[in-house]
Amino acid sequence: MNPLVLRLNAATSPVSPDERKILATVEAEIVEVEQPEACGCLEQVDAVMIVSAYLRTPLIKRMTRCRIISRMGTGTDKIDVAQATAQGIMVANVPDFATGEVADHTLALLLSAARKLKVFERYMRSGHHPFDAVAVRRLSAQTLGVIGFGHIGRAVAERALAFGLRVLVCDPCVTAEQAAAAGVTAVGKDAILAEADYLCLLCPLLPSTRGMLAMPEFRKMKRDAVLINTGRGELVNERELAEALKTGVIAYAGLDVFGEVNVFDLDGFPCDHPLFGLDNVQLTPHVAAVSSESLTEAHVRAAQAVADVFSGRTPPHLLNPTVIKNRHNEHE
């Protein structure tokens, strides 16, 4: 039988011609739906390709034939990887498909905040010069804090250093020596909160990082500090962030990711969250990773991971390589 590939998010992120060409090399049949609940054949699927849908335990338990879940992007917090592993299902991602794009977008939000672009555009559109303009500070006199120093964190730091910013990083996996070699300084969480003029969240969403910034953390930051989140929305308590921005606990935020707003809803999303009513926040709809090149790369590499499995090859970037080891042991 030909492999049956369940392609999720097929409405918000349609199957590309390149995907079809790659999957055709293993004669795969593609089932295209937006959400997994809409698929009536979960028990028959041999592979799943997924962008932004949730694959939780009850759904994965039904996928008794599945061999691989291929994430068309980086984060896998919406996939129950532990359950997939327990069932012997490989989980692969494309961790570096948009490193440059996310780093660029992070710096764009930072620069927009630093140069007060929203404020100055408002003056311009009202026909008044800002003679009483809020102070704009020189970037080279300020400090950037980066929480999470993986591929994207390092790319952000490189860009920030080129602008003359002092860069602090907070990441339990990074030593002081490794940080120094990259031209940055490793510090603890309290230090980065206290010293950063701009604080960027670029760490993965884990039980230990979920809700890592809330009002107690905002109160440790400078009153003129700027929070930039291009990581995961759930890293932040968004209701308390809105309150911190409204009451002047911190000055500004640039957000591309959200925990309480589903920007991928096909019918659109409500704009009644408290963040939408604030002038001192810039919002973009989870587009930091977007470019024509990055999207093509994500589609191609995720499809190739599926084709690899059905061609007898091990796909790169497995999150649970023990599945392969266990299978080898079973055949010995």
Residue 41 has pLDDT above 80, yes or no: yes
Do 213 and 125 sit in the same domain of this protein?
A: yes
Q: How confident is the model at residue 133 (pLDDT cuts 50, 70, 90)?
A: low
Q: How confident is the model at residue 131 (pLDDT cuts 50, 70, 90)?
A: confident
Q: What are 134's two structure tokens?
A: 């809020």
Do 89 and 111 sit in the same domain of this protein?
A: no
Do 169 and 257 sit in the same domain of this protein?
A: yes
Do 242 and 121 sit in the same domain of this protein?
A: yes
Do 66 and 45 sit in the same domain of this protein?
A: yes
Do 41 and 111 sit in the same domain of this protein?
A: no
Do 90 and 106 sit in the same domain of this protein?
A: no
Q: Where in the sequence is the domain holding 155, given as residue range(s)?
A: 99-283
Do 174 and 122 sit in the same domain of this protein?
A: yes
Catalytic residues: 232, 260, 286
Interval 248-264: pLDDT, tens = 999 999 999 999 999 99
Specify the pTM: 0.92
Do 268 and 185 sit in the same domain of this protein?
A: yes
d(CA 20, CA 31): 12
Q: In CATH, what number is assigned to the domain containing residue 244? A: 3.40.50.720
Do 152 and 13 sit in the same domain of this protein?
A: no
Q: How many structural domains comprise the chain?
A: 2
Q: Which of 249, 264, 283 is the last residue of a domain?
A: 283
Do 18 and 108 sit in the same domain of this protein?
A: no
Do 143 and 215 sit in the same domain of this protein?
A: yes
